Amino acid sequence: MEKTYGSLPPSPPIKPEQTEGMVTNGLPGGYGDVAARFRPTADIYGVKFLKPGETLGFALQGFLKVDGAWVMSPKA
């Protein structure tokens, strides 16, 4: 696990002015190579941290529930 996640920053690079959040449902286009590996009925979510009035910001995708627990499946 350290090999995979050790190079990540200690906290997400969310900017102080990104005070709004948005929940998204479904896989973004960048997951095209792995989309077929998920069950068709899987509900997969993401979150975006945005500046007020903007639609682009810092995004985290690939959250889903497995056996009642939330897990993240980042695109690798």
Q: In this predicted structure, what is the pLDDT of residue 14?
A: 87
64: left (phi over 0), alpha (psi -120 to 50) or beta: beta
Q: Model-level pTM?
A: 0.66
Per-residue pLDDT band for 17 (boundaries 50, 70, 90) equals very high
Per-residue pLDDT tens digits for 23-63: 988 877 777 778 788 888 888 898 999 999 998 999 888 89
Among residues 62, 60, 61, 48, which one has the least CA distance to residue 19?
A: 48
Share in percent of the chain as helix, strand, coil (round to 5): 15, 35, 55
